[in-house]
Chains A and B, each alone.
Chain A
Amino acid sequence: MSLIEKLGRLWNLRGLFFESLGYSLIIAFGAVVLGFIIGVLLAVVRIAPKNNPIIKFFDKIAVVYITVIRGTPTLVQLLILYSSVLVVFKSMSTNLLVPIIAFGINSGAYMAEIIRSGINSVDPGQMEAGRSVGLSWTTTMRKIIIPQAIKIVVPTIFNEIIILVKETSVVSYIVLRVGGVQKWDLLGIAEKLGLAVPACYLVFLFAAALIYLAVVMLLTLIQHLIERRLKKNER
């Protein structure tokens, strides 16, 4: 097969690639949202003054969570969740939530550490000023500290999002199902097509790589826009 023929074949299959990109993005987006929420909650628990046993208890849990999640490979976590869901549900007709939760839980641990260091780098005088006008710790956190911390951590958070988007490619290790039909993520579809047409395997892989690259470049653009926007505020 000549390269032209290979590219022609790839072009005919573009619909499949874009559909798979869609699944990759849905998984990544869901995981980012979940990861961010988990991250903020864990970070706040870690940073809260340890003046009552409930907070101390949650802090311990947060520490264990972060240690375990960061200490084990994402793929292992995904497979464990996937297999345990299989045990309970045998077969779910749509199981996109499984990788979303697995990657979300994973990303949450990293986001927690990022957000925590962001909160820590906000001038402590900001908290003192908030408390000294009678605002509670929580209100000051919500209105003053977290908004400033978010701004500090935008670059690092985007870095984490970019890593996460690429990491979703390990989802090709499990069987994705939507409405009872098997589906593939971006890397999954390249591999599947490569098995069917071994001569074109490399072309398919390159196609997948290029699409990942395009998504990451788009994310980087969004990051710069957000950073510019945030800078315009406060100035």
Chain B
Amino acid sequence: MNDNYIEIKGLYKNFGKLEVLKGVSCNIKKGEKVAIIGASGSGKSTMLRCMNLLETPTYGEVWVDGKLLTPIDPYLHFDVIRLSKTYQKLYTEAIASGTSSEEVDKAVIANIKKNDLLKNHEGSAYAKAIKQLYKQNFQQVDLSRRDMGMVFQHFNLFNNLTVLENMTLAPVELKLKTKPEAEKTAMELLHRIGLEDKAKVYPSTLSGGQKQRIAIVRALAMDPQVMLFDEPTSALDPEMVGEVLDLVKQVADAGMTVVIVTHEMGFAKEVADRVLFMADGVILEEGTPDELFNHPKNARTKDFLSKVL
């Protein structure tokens, strides 16, 4: 297909009446490190959580590794729109006035999208096309999630399991590894972060920094293709931020695709290939760290950066 690992297309997310994401599109390439910054409440976490469908988008599509995780959003597929009764009616009406067919096509599609004109029953050709697109591309989200490690602000280690069990539960339960294999991998990862001696303890005995590092290696134990971090250091005491960021950096340097929502601007600058600035549920500006931090174009970006830098 292409070398995008994650593709978000025309994403909207409403919580009841509250519109949190208002049309977000972004592609994340294999191996790319993307940092998402922005004010509190701008929708950063929501967008990240839509990538592995912890939040269900209201409109739009999420594609991961060429597989569709959401239902088809017909407004994103012009070929499909052209099959709809609404399109055909509007097209026939407009073409009578004598404009060129290309222009009419463009105008009608724009009109349909803008005014949300597609209805539930748009004819069998339309329904069939949607069904087929879906069937060809859909993948169970549980399968895609195996390839997307997620690290949360509040660690979310399984409280009823030991550190080792935290790391082996999913690989064993999903039959990706035998128990001894999973334990071997887990111990190697724990060794890497210097916490082998914690293998048999329960999470409640660990410090915040230890919990978060274990949460990271728990995700790594699944051999994911991409790691999603949602403010991995904001719940930590300042003296523990460093150890966690070091580990995130190691993960990034090892070539993994990384998407990180962060308030650590220094870290974003250092690690990211691309920085997205979000405000009011849209990506307002994006660019390399140098472009975004040193030469921001948008007034709101400048304003935000002046407050946090």
Q: Which of B7-15, B80-88, B152-160, B285-293 contacts A (4 or more CB under 8 A)?
A: B152-160
Closest chain B CB from A203 CB (angstroms) = 49
| In contact, A134 and B222 (Cβ under 8 angstroms) | yes
Contact with B along A168-194 (1 / 0, CB 8 A): 000000000000000000000000000
A234 to B218, CA, bound (A): 18
Q: Which residues of B contact A86 (CB under 8 A)?
A: none
Q: Which of A26-34, A100-108, A142-150, A211-219 contacts B (4 or more CB under 8 A)?
A: A142-150
Interface residues of A in 195-235 (CB under 8 A from B): 233-235
Q: Which residues of A contact B222 (CB under 8 A)?
A: 133-134
| In contact, A129 and B205 (Cβ under 8 angstroms) | no
Known pairs A133-B170, A151-B160; A234 contacts B204 (CB<8 A): yes
Of A125, A135, A136, A234, the residue contacting B160 (CB under 8 A) is A234
A129 to B215, CA, bound (A): 9
| In contact, B173 and A129 (Cβ under 8 angstroms) | no
> B18 at the A/B interface (Cβ < 8 Å)?
no
Closest chain B CB from A175 CB (angstroms) = 46
Q: Which residues of B contact A144 (CB under 8 A)?
A: 158, 160-161
Q: Which residues of A contact B170 (CB under 8 A)?
A: 133-135
| In contact, A128 and B202 (Cβ under 8 angstroms) | no
Contact with A along B184-221 (1 / 0, CB 8 A): 00000000000000000011110000000001001100
Q: Which of A125, A133, A136, A139 has the most CB of B within 10 A?
A: A133
Closest chain A CB from B118 CB (angstroms) = 23
| In contact, A134 and B152 (Cβ under 8 angstroms) | no
Q: Which residues of B contact A2 (CB under 8 A)?
A: none
| In contact, B145 and A126 (Cβ under 8 angstroms) | no
Known pairs A144-B160, A147-B160; A133 contacts B152 (CB<8 A): no
| In contact, B174 and A135 (Cβ under 8 angstroms) | yes
Of B146, B215, B218, the residue contacting A134 (CB under 8 A) is B146
| In contact, A129 and B152 (Cβ under 8 angstroms) | yes
For A230, give the chain B residue with the smallest CB separation: B160
A133 to B158, CA, bound (A): 12
A148 to B157, CA, bound (A): 13
| In contact, A143 and B173 (Cβ under 8 angstroms) | yes
Of A126, A132, A134, the residue contacting B54 (CB under 8 A) is A132
| In contact, B156 and A234 (Cβ under 8 angstroms) | no
| In contact, A133 and B160 (Cβ under 8 angstroms) | no
> A155 at the A/B interface (Cβ < 8 Å)?
no
Closest chain B CB from A193 CB (angstroms) = 49
Known pairs A133-B146, A134-B142, A135-B173; A148 contacts B159 (CB<8 A): yes
> A167 at the A/B interface (Cβ < 8 Å)?
no
A147 to B169, CA, bound (A): 14
Of B142, B146, B157, B174, the residue contacting A129 (CB under 8 A) is B157
Contact with A along B135-162 (1 / 0, CB 8 A): 0000000110110111010101111110
> B257 at the A/B interface (Cβ < 8 Å)?
no
Known pairs A234-B204, A235-B202; A129 contacts B145 (CB<8 A): no
- What are 19 pairs between A and B in contact, CB < 8 Å? A123-B159, A128-B156, A129-B152, A129-B156, A129-B215, A130-B158, A132-B150, A133-B218, A133-B219, A133-B222, A134-B142, A134-B143, A135-B142, A144-B158, A144-B160, A148-B160, A151-B160, A233-B202, A234-B204
User: Chain A interface (Cβ within 8 Å of chain B)?
Assistant: 123, 125-126, 128-136, 139, 143-144, 147-148, 151, 233-235
Known: A123-B156, A148-B160. 9 other contacts (CB 8 A): A128-B150, A133-B145, A133-B149, A133-B218, A134-B146, A135-B169, A143-B169, A144-B158, A234-B202
